[in-house]
Amino acid sequence: MTTIAYSARHRSIAADRLATSNGTRIGYVRKIMQVGPLLIGGCGASAFITPFMAWVRRGMVGQCPSMSNHVSGDQSLDAMGVILWDEMCLSFIDSGPQRVYGAYHAFGSGAEFASGALEAGATPEEAVRVAIVHDINSGGDVDVITLP
């Protein structure tokens, strides 16, 4: 899946690049971007993250794209898109946006590892690297975006 880590103190976001499908490594993708003062990330099914990222780039006009296909059983797919600004995080899942405030945030399958590293004082890049060591669904290079 993914590990995305953000720190308001460091004014940066980081993410691994590994792409998987049904437990198989299929390549590498960029999972974070900057749009003006906002840092954007996406984890989960790329079929939902790609339209979410395009929606944010277009200025978030209209309704947020669906983040799930709601199929029962093993075929169900879902995703989470996040928009970060200062200490505010807007997470988008299919039930709608949720606003959370905090000095740092972590998302994806490696979130627990990254959160622990952030709490211990790691930068987002360091936190993602910690998660990559322990989470089998995170890997590859680490992308970092730091605001001025």
Q: What is the CATH number of the domain that holds 18?
A: 3.60.20.10
How many domains does the chain divide into? Answer: 1
Q: What percentage of the chain has pLDDT greater than the value 90?
A: 68
Name the region of 126 (left: φ>0; alpha: ψ -120 to 50; beta: rest). Answer: alpha
pLDDT digits 0-9 by tens, 128-137: 999 999 999 9
Residue 119 structural domain: 3-69+76-146
What's the rounded Cα separation, in Å, for the pair 97 and 104?
18
Average pLDDT, the chain: 91
pLDDT digits 0-9 by tens, 25-73: 999 999 999 999 999 999 988 888 999 999 999 999 999 988 887 655 5
